[in-house]
Amino acid sequence: MTLRGAAYIAGAYEHPGRNLPDQSLAEIHARVAVGALTDAGLTLADVDGYFCSGDAPGFGPLSMIDYLGLSVSYLDSTEIGGSTYVAHVGHAAAAITAGKCRVALITLGGKPRSGGMPPGGSTRSVGPESAFENLFGNTVVAGYAMAAQRHMYEFGTTSEQLAEIKVAASTHAQHNPNAALPKVVTIEEVVESPLVADPLHRLDCCVITDGGGALVVVHPDVAKDLDRQCIPVLGVGEAPKTAANGRIDLTHTAALWSGPRAFDEAGMTPADIDYVSIYDSFTITVLQTIEDLGFCEKGQGGGFVSDGALQSPNGVLPFNTDGGGLCNNHPANRGGMTKVIEAVRQLRGEAHPAVQVSNCDIALAHGTGGSLANRSGSATVILGREL
């Protein structure tokens, strides 16, 4: 069974707020739900499938369908961290193909900035290794720093090359009025910012924001009846990567497997992609993902991202034109949602004119969940302007 053309993204909405102390988690989910449905030309009464993750309050989907007043026949509460909401697009397409629902609503909401669940947190319990590793001060950024150190050791990657990724994100963020960090930065400013965990500097790290987003994925027959440009799902892929009892290679991500699965289903190669939304929890995440998705050879990512290659509209591979998690928004540490939203904007021609990719026909959105230092999961979605 193929999911190519089996479903369309009809609605996409990103909460404009980045610091929301006066809004509850449930309210954030509700606001983005209504926003995405309005974008699609639908209402809550049209929804018969609902998807959320560990960022949702209470009993997750059970609590949220009650709060939203939904009557649904299908629920999904998959939790794979930052890749969750990219994966949910594929899950929604599969559920639609199986006849389980016709209008799937996917919502994200988080408040790590104003005192809610911290980055990386969820309603799930801590991992089985936590009682052993946490004693020694393992942190999220330290884990990614280990991956960066290893990549530098094996391939000669430099801090200046990683900084190119932040510079590209900031160059795009200046055009986003809602971006948490809209200031353009230079390579020198990135490498001269304080070290957080060697070799990662403060500006190599993503922002911490409140906010959220939502998507509406529909059956092709529903899409035909809507007065809205709907974006077909062309290919999806998911893959986990574990620590393998300590035999982990820190230089690659699970995109090494999720990417080819998405490309195979779409019948495409990296050369066909006009725009990419790549999960950017840290600059090293982007560099490794670009390699693993096949845009360059393993170990050549540092050279590939240099000299403005990621900057829109004229770079070799325009990426994260909203500013991404590095500069725009990273609610609840689940930035996969905003990656899909910006890909939809690009395909509709609705990105800011300064960063809109000309003739953007094919876009790729990719999420990375977990940690590059131990277990992680990747999800890749390829979308088209038309089928």
Q: Are residues 220 and 168 in the same domain?
A: no
Task: Answer yes or no: is pLDDT of 118 > 90.
Answer: no
Q: Are residues 185 and 288 in the same domain?
A: yes
Q: Are residues 242 and 374 in the same domain?
A: yes
Q: Are residues 302 and 357 in the same domain?
A: yes
* Domain harbouring 261, CATH code: 3.40.47.10
Q: Are residues 193 and 341 in the same domain?
A: yes
**Quick one: average pLDDT of 253-271?**
98
- 167 phi and psi, to 5 degrees? -60, -45
| pTM to 2 decimal places | 0.95
pLDDT of residue 157: 98
Residue 119's pLDDT band (cuts 50, 70, 90): low
Residue 123's pLDDT band (cuts 50, 70, 90): very low
Q: Are residues 380 and 250 in the same domain?
A: yes
Reported as a single tens digit per residue, the pLDDT across 181-221 is 999 999 999 999 999 999 999 999 999 999 999 999 999 99
Q: Are residues 337 and 373 in the same domain?
A: yes
* Higher-scoring residue by pLDDT: 317, 132: 317
Q: Which of 352, 380, 183, 172 is nearest to 290 (CA)?
A: 380
Mean pLDDT, the chain, rounded, equals: 95
Task: Answer yes or no: is pLDDT of 289 > 80.
Answer: yes
**Quick one: average pLDDT of 347-359?**
98
Q: Report the alpha-carbon distance of residue 213 to residue 30 in Å, rounded.
A: 10
Enumerate residues 6+ apart whose C-beta is below 8 A from 249: none
Tokens of 293: 């998705």
The letter for the amino acid at 28 is I
Task: Answer yes or no: is pLDDT of 116 > 80.
Answer: no
Q: Are residues 57 and 151 in the same domain?
A: no
Residue 21 located in a structural domain: yes
Residue 117's pLDDT band (cuts 50, 70, 90): low
**Quick one: average pLDDT of 272-284?**
98
pLDDT of residue 122: 47
Q: Are residues 106 and 146 in the same domain?
A: no
Q: Are residues 70 and 205 in the same domain?
A: no
Strands 362-370 and 211-218: unpaired
Residue 130's pLDDT band (cuts 50, 70, 90): confident
Domain span including residue 240: 130-209+233-384
Task: Answer yes or no: is pLDDT of 78 > 60.
Answer: yes
Q: Are residues 168 and 278 in the same domain?
A: yes
**Quick one: average pLDDT of 108-118?**
82
Residues pairing with 281 in the sheet? none
Q: Are residues 170 and 279 in the same domain?
A: yes
